[in-house]
Amino acid sequence: MVIAPATANTLSKMASGISDNLLLATYLSAKCPIYFAPAMDLDMYKHPSSLNSFKTLQSFGNIMIPAGSGELASGLHGEGRMAEPEEVATFIEQHLTASTPLLNKKVIITAGPTYEAIDPVRFIGNHSSGKMGYELAKQAAKQGAKVILVSGPSSLNISDESVTLIRVNTAQQMYDAVHNYYDSVHVGIAAAAVSDYRPKVVADQKIKKAGEEMTIVLEKSPDILLSMGQHKKNQLLVGFALETENEIANAKKKLEKKNLDFIVLNSLNDKGAGFKKDTNKITIIDKAHNSKSFDLKSKAEVAKDIINEVIAKLNA
């Protein structure tokens, strides 16, 4: 929302939270970024109350479009002249571009587990909640990206116009969904915990208890990340490695085998990391084997670190 011109009286009321007209009521209830463009006579512009209002409004996260200098309505010359419409438009465009470095970028992210059916009742799965992938989607959207979030079974949801949520159950469904969009994206982030194996034969009816043992023949599930690496053109590709031993060595092998630009390593040996946690502790390793280790953080903060690395790699 843009408030221009913003007079000294209007600014003072906005800063103090006083609302007596539609504009101020709209401002106080707004949830979008707000830009304000001061426009007033020289003495009013320089007055301490106006300067204090500028500072107060900016402290709330509002963005000030500086007034220009020139001839004012009073005949004086100096600061206080409202920025021209094209200057306002240029300022907002430049500010949005700087604050949303993934603007005009498309990102596909996988999240959560996959469930591979044994029969209509039972399945092979894992403990992934999807929290890491959902936080990555939120952070990528916050940075301006259009996000396709392909999620395995998860209780989580996301409400952001910039995120398209596609729900799947199996590895094959996730594979198909990813490759429906992969050629059109700039970044791929594979945060899902995909089942490596699935039952070769799925029973049509619930398997009844019989005998002391039951044998299930498994076959490999499609390797989604490997296929993304094989089909990579100009995409930046990021994978995850959850390890319990030889963490660095295993992560580097996966990085190279799957043709990744960088890999996010987390270990179940680290307290506070892993499935169903609200925190994570990661090390990022790039294809030149440069590594960055981070302290234990909330998954929201970890997502910021990962997306910042994505932005740095894209800019490089």
* Distance (Å, whole) CA 138 – CA 142: 6
Q: Which helix (H) or strand (E) holds 230?
A: helix 224-230
- Alpha-carbon 140 to chain mean position: 2
Cis peptide before 101 (omega within 30 of 0): no
- Report which DSSP code applies to 212: S
Q: Which helix (H) or strand (E) holds 262?
A: strand 262-267
* Distance (Å, whole) CA 242 – CA 250: 9
Active site residue 250: no
Other Cβ atoms within 10 Å of 92 Cβ, number: 15
Catalytic residue among 21, 52, 126, 250: 126
In 3D, which of 134, 119, 193, 125 has the Cα closest to residue 165?
134
- Within 40-191, residue ranges assigned H as helices are 42-46, 48-59, 85-99, 131-142, 171-181
Active site residues: 126
